[in-house]
Amino acid sequence: MTRSPGPGARIERDPQHLLVPLGALAPMRRRRRPSAGARAWRRRGPELVAALGLLLACAAVLVTLTRPPLSVYLEGDTVHVAGALLSHPAGNGGLSSGRLYAGAATLLLAPAPHGGLMASAITYLRGERVTGVCRFGPPTAAALTERCTLRIGRDQVTCDDTLRFAVPGTWERHCSDGQALRVEVPSGTVAIPMPFPLGR
């Protein structure tokens, strides 16, 4: 009986030589073309950054111009502090000296030695207690000045305020932490010390 050759009989045992082009295995780096957005950014990037800076500057000026001006003054029996009203309580709150005003803040005005006026106030700023004391010096021929010390939480700030008669109705405040602002005193009202954390 003749057996058919198995599968192993069909395998050719002679070695085969395959030509492999080794040089072709080197990796090729294909230069990718930058996208249209990247090309535009390279051409116009500095101009876009400058335009964005100009827009932000204009927005800051607009916010400054449209923000209502700060004002502090006494009118009748009411003290106006940046839109908040402090009223004089009946019986002066039981105090025998000075003049008390209460509301969103508590303010006490009292005559200062050697003339002028002293003021102390208690209010709150972002949950922190603020105490302020101002000494209102006697007016000179050109201006009215005061020095205020504000204790905001654990920090202490000193502010020098000047009400120039050549620019009626406007206090200029400069504080030790770099803050500078203007505070209005409307015509027909009374300027008072400002022991408040204005503009903060």
Q: What is the DSSP letter of 86?
A: E
Cα separation, 136 vs 117, whole angstroms: 5
Please determine, for residue 182, whether its predicted confidence score (pLDDT) is greater than 80.
yes
Q: List beta partners, residue 84.
A: 81
Please determine, for residue 138, whether its predicted confidence score (pLDDT) is greater than 70.
yes
Cα separation, 194 vs 183, whole angstroms: 10
Burial of 46 (0-12, 13-18, 19+ CB in 10 A): exposed
| CA separation, residue 1 to residues 4, 26, 44 (Å) | 10, 57, 90
Q: What is the DSSP letter of 139?
A: P
Q: Using one digit for the tens of pLDDT, what is the confidence trace for 44-97?
A: 767 767 666 666 655 544 444 445 579 999 999 999 999 899 999 999 989 998
Q: What is the mean pLDDT of residues 168-181?
A: 93
- Overall pTM > 0.85: no
* pLDDT for 66: 41
